[in-house]
Amino acid sequence: MNKSEILNPKSEIKSSGILFIVSAPSGAGKTTLCRKAVDYFSDLRHSISYTTRPPRQGEKDDVDYHFINKKAFQKKIDIGEFIEWAEVHGNRYGTSFNDIKSLLEKGLDIILDIDVQGARQIKLQIANCKLQIPWVFIFIFPPSLDATKERIKKRGKDTRETILSRLKNARAEIKEAVWYDYLIINDKLEDAFEKLKSIIVAERSKREKMIEQVKRLYGKVLGK
Ligand code: ADP
Ligand code: 5GP
């Protein structure tokens, strides 16, 4: 099926929340950073993706991912349930349109940890005005390609074959970083997290996000 046929959300999102889209090569520390951000900001949520990948040791269904089989995933594609989906390292991953919609409409911000293909699909929908929500694209780099290898190995949850395939993809993924809005090098975890926090705070402080609150406080002064 042509991807553009899938990327056709059925209903509009009336959002007051921001969509933070985070991508990185495997092992860069994206999951770690996104989790820290969700723990830190009470009004930031992680959208739980659907995947056909089997759970890693310690991963929980409906917490880390919604783990589903290939047939169930295909059905979700067919009914247009995904705002984006992609095949990554031999497994499929997708984000539910309705999950995103309901979180954003509650005024919550969302952090989406998705691969570069999925991020590109969202960017395309924004460019085509199919998706009208505040968005920010963030790319996380490992300090070096060798570091990713060590981190994936240290994580200790992937087979040798999986590690090799993830490392092979890393170069192609890094090439996509040029069109992201913010770039973070995750060398020291705490420094990288400070940067991620600063980006979130800065985006939340933009005029278009703040103006209603300011008008409530200073409506008379502003003459509104
Ligand atoms: P990703 O989600 O990008 O594949 P993870 O967040 O799972 O990566 O991180 C991979 C491994 O690297 C984990 O064991 C994690 O604890 C570790 N890690 C993450 N950031 C750093 C860092 N800045 N320095 C050292 N190890 C890190
Ligand atoms: P992992 O198997 O290590 O959890 O994730 C592998 C890759 O899939 C990562 O790059 C991760 O960001 C990406 N991924 C996770 N969920 C989604 C999703 O819903 N859509 C897309 N396109 N990629 C995802």
pLDDT band for position 88 (50/70/90)?
very high
pLDDT of 6 > 50? The answer is no
Q: What is the pLDDT of residues 19-44, one digit of tens each?
A: 999 999 988 999 999 999 999 999 99
Q: What's the CATH code of the domain at 174?
A: 3.40.50.300
User: Model's pTM, two decimal places?
Assistant: 0.92
The pLDDT of residue 15 is above 90: no
Contacts for 102 with CB less than 8 Å, ≥ 6 apart: none
Is residue 65 assigned to a domain? no
Over the chain, what is the mean pLDDT?
Answer: 90
Residue in the block written with tokens 């009470």:
42
Residue 86 placed within a domain:
no
Position in ligand 2 atom list of the atom nearest CA 50: 19
Ligand 1 pocket, residue 45 CB under 6 Å: no
Ligand with the closest atom to the CA of 27: 1
Residue pair 119/21 in contact by the 8 Å Cβ criterion: yes
Q: Which residues line ligand 2 (CB under 6 A)?
A: 26, 49, 53, 84-86, 88-89, 93-95, 113-115, 117-118
- What radius of gyration, in Å, describes the C-alpha atoms of the chain? 18
CB 77 within 8 A of CB 121: no
Query: 104: CA distance to ligand 2 center in Å?
Result: 20
Structural domain harbouring 17: 3-47+108-222
Residue 157 included in any domain = yes
Total domains present in the chain: 1
- DSSP letter assigned to residue 48: P
* 3-state SS class at 189: helix
Residue 17 included in any domain: yes
